[in-house]
Amino acid sequence: MLSPEPRTLLQILKAETRPHHERAERVVRLVSPDLTLSGYRRHLEALHGLYAPLEASLAARLEGLYPELRLAERWKLPLLEEDLRALGHEDASLARLPRPARLPSLPGVPEALGTLYVLEGATLGGQLLLRHLTRHFEGISAGGFAFFRAYGEAVGPMWKAFGEALLRACPDPSLAPRVVRGAQDTFDTFEVWLREVHW
């Protein structure tokens, strides 16, 4: 009898983090019909608090090791800052935004790749949110939704390239559980932090 094809790391990640995604998705209140501009701004502020330290840790762990990950093209902090500046923030107020006390520990490269998987995958669901926000704030000066727009037309190709780069960076299947743990921990950090956003 033929044994089943081994699952790719992306398939394993998707399956093993599904409940974590569902819980994180549930605390995102951007699709609520009574979303206000300040609610949207508070969501972006919370994301800024997460992405600033997370991207700094990822850069420390991964930068220079795997050029195929194209990290410099993937950082979202500049996009969040573009949106927040359009909503009235400046350098000083951005620097004062609160950050979570607890962040995923990234003891090694596999866990860091798991975190990166979560930040990259969020650009996919982000396309649904972009469509919703564009409609919801039509005629209102809400900025250009740079964070949710992410790579624009290139969201699909960037995700595909990420999947391929992930396999090259982590070809050893015995490391998959550590990548999964990094991803689960990151989803849970989002869930806890976003649940605390005051609307």
Q: Does 28 bind ligand HEM (CB under 6 A)?
A: yes
C-alpha 163/C-alpha 148 separation (Å) is 20
- Of 13, 54, 62, 150, which lies in the binding site for ligand HEM, with binding defined by CB under 6 A? 13
The CA-atom distances, in angstroms, between 145 and each of 57, 108, 141 are: 25, 33, 11
Shortest spacing between CB 120 and ligand HEM, in angstroms: 7
Residue nearest to ligand HEM (CB): 121
Residues in 118-177 at the binding interface with ligand HEM, rule: CB under 6 A? 118, 121-122, 124-125, 128
The CA-atom distances, in angstroms, between 19 and each of 14, 53, 91 are: 10, 25, 37
Four-CA torsion 29, 32, 36, 42, nearest 10 degrees: 0
Shortest spacing between CB 1 and ligand HEM, in angstroms: 29
Q: Does 50 bind ligand HEM (CB under 6 A)?
A: no
Q: Does 113 bind ligand HEM (CB under 6 A)?
A: no
Nearer to ligand HEM, 93 or 164 (CB): 164
Task: List the one residue out of 162, 189, 190, 150 whose CA is nearest residue 13.
Answer: 162
Angle of CA points 25, 74, 54, to nearest 5°: 60
Question: What residues make contact with ligand HEM under the rule CB under 6 A?
Answer: 10, 13-14, 21, 24-25, 28, 31, 117-118, 121-122, 124-125, 128, 187, 190
